[in-house]
Amino acid sequence: MSLEFHIEATAESARRGRLITPHGEVETPVFMPVGTLATVKGVPQDVLEDLGVEILLSNTYHLYLRPGVEQVRKLGGLHRFMAWDRSILTDSGGFQVFSLSELRKLTEEGVTFRSHLDGSSHFFSPESAMEAQIGLGADIIMAFDECTEYPAEPERVRKSMELTLRWAERSKKHFEGHKQEVPWDCAGTQALFGIVQGGMDLGLRRESAERTIEIGFPGYAIGGLSVGEPRALTREVVAATIQHLPADKPRYLMGVGTPEEIAEYARLGIDMMDCVLPTRAARHGLLFTSEGKISIKQARYACDRGPLDPKCGCRVCSRYSRAYLRHLYASNEVLAQVLNTVHNLTFYLDTMRAVRHSISLGR
Ligand SMILES: [Zn+2]
């Protein structure tokens, strides 16, 4: 077994379902917290379990550089290494290579890049990205793609999309030949998802979807969005691309959005999403609440005895005051990051719980 996906209720385009990986079940639509370096910054794994996190995302590029894939593999893969028995998804490293690293050189074969940590030179190809992700051992792994920048000339977008398609075939071929090498002690293998590219061109998105489906994957991601385009355009591309994805396979929208946006994408028929926003914003004192976004550093909260969000039942809102959270943040205390992150993650997870409940009711 590598992956099962069951749709249990639908409401117009939205679907509620269950994703079953070798490490457990995931209720969809799901928001996946980002644990870049095998940690959701500031939050221990037992707290993530208490919050109801069923799957988290980790970044291949970062883990490849530090501590290194071979080390994680020798320690039994990511699940063992980070003491997380539930599901994990890794990205292919492509997005970070194109957004973080310097002096990258792109060829048909792959990408040469310099580490953002120490300037050392590295090479990623579809084959080496698969090798890295098999070594890390996440339940769901991603084909190596080129994330097209925005804006880009039409000719450039087509070439980039064609390259991603050739890389998708190579990714699948290498994965099929090596998937037994995953460092697990449980039954089953990983599942490799394909990624639809094509920039903001709806025709190219359709072509990319059709040709990626022809290659054949157990799930499909929509990549290349949230790269600086207006939000209305993101929504338009997502809505158009979904029309060309198979209804019986999970659909993963990569790297989006605000709480309102993730609810909207679920409404359009997206099953999986991830975003650094709740965790990154938390570390900057920006908190999502039922009354809107607040910046806890503001002086107006200095004597506020009330909870951060009166409608939130999380362990932070049920125990601490806004005044205390403001003090922690203003004093640069480590606990500020921990508590802020726990609340923001709860807000995102609750948003998805509400969405799933609405779908069950047919709304
Ligand atoms: Zn809360």
Rounded CA separation 27/78 (Å): 22
Q: What is the DSSP letter of 308?
A: S
Residues 16 and 10: beta-carbon distance below 8 Å: yes
Q: What angle do CA 122, 190, 360 make, to 5 degrees?
A: 120
Rounded CA separation 89/23 (Å): 11
How far is the centre of ligand 1, averaged over its atoms, from the C-alpha of 341 (Å)?
A: 9
Rounded CA separation 16/30 (Å): 9
Q: How does DSSP assign 208-267, residue by residue?
A: HHHHHHHH--SSEEE-S-SSS--HHHHHHHHHHHHTTS-TTS-EEETT---HHHHHHHHH
**pTM (predicted TM-score):** 0.98
Residues facing residue 30 across a β-bridge: 272
Residues 145 and 168: beta-carbon distance below 8 Å: yes
Query: What Å distances lie between residue 175 and 36, 119, 186, 194, 195, CA to CA?
Result: 23, 29, 19, 12, 15
Region 87-93: what's the mean pLDDT? 96
Does the structure show a pLDDT above 80 at 336? yes
Does the structure show a pLDDT above 80 at 102? no
Side chain identity at residue 357, one-letter code: H
Known catalytic residues are 91, 274
Q: How confident is the model at residue 335 (pLDDT cuts 50, 70, 90)?
A: very high
How far is the centre of ligand 1, averaged over its atoms, from the C-alpha of 165 (Å)?
A: 43
In this prediction, residue 170 carries a pLDDT of 98
SS3 360: helix
In this prediction, residue 157 carries a pLDDT of 97
Does the structure show a pLDDT above 80 at 320? yes
SS3 169: helix
How far is the centre of ligand 1, averaged over its atoms, from the C-alpha of 344 (Å)?
A: 7
Q: How confident is the model at residue 42 (pLDDT cuts 50, 70, 90)?
A: very high
Q: Which two tokens stand for residue 150?
A: 């925005």
Cβ–Cβ contacts within 10 Å for residue 120, how many?
A: 9
Structure confidence by residue, pLDDT tens digits, 202-217 = 999 999 999 999 999 9
How far is the centre of ligand 1, averaged over its atoms, from the C-alpha of 293 (Å)?
A: 13
Average pLDDT taken over every residue of the chain: 96
How far is the centre of ligand 1, averaged over its atoms, from the C-alpha of 35 (Å)?
A: 20
Q: Which two tokens stand for residue 155?
A: 């000719």
Q: How does DSSP assign 27-79, residue by residue?
A: EESEEE-B-TTSS-TT--HHHHHHHT--EEEE-HHHHHHTT-HHHHHHTTSHH
Structure confidence by residue, pLDDT tens digits, 134-192 = 999 999 999 999 989 999 999 999 999 999 999 999 999 999 999 999 999 888 999 99
Structure confidence by residue, pLDDT tens digits, 49-86 = 999 999 999 999 999 999 999 999 999 999 999 999 99
Region 333-353: what's the mean pLDDT? 98
Percent of the chain residues past pLDDT 70, beyond the cut: 99
Cβ–Cβ contacts within 10 Å for residue 176, how many?
A: 12
Q: How confident is the model at residue 363 (pLDDT cuts 50, 70, 90)?
A: confident
In this prediction, residue 1 carries a pLDDT of 78
Q: How confident is the model at residue 264 (pLDDT cuts 50, 70, 90)?
A: very high
Rounded CA separation 321/298 (Å): 14
For tokens 């004093």, what's the residue?
Answer: 331
How far is the centre of ligand 1, averaged over its atoms, from the C-alpha of 259 (Å)?
A: 14
In this prediction, residue 215 carries a pLDDT of 98
Does the structure show a pLDDT above 80 at 101? no
Does the structure show a pLDDT above 90 at 233? yes
Does the structure show a pLDDT above 90 at 94? no
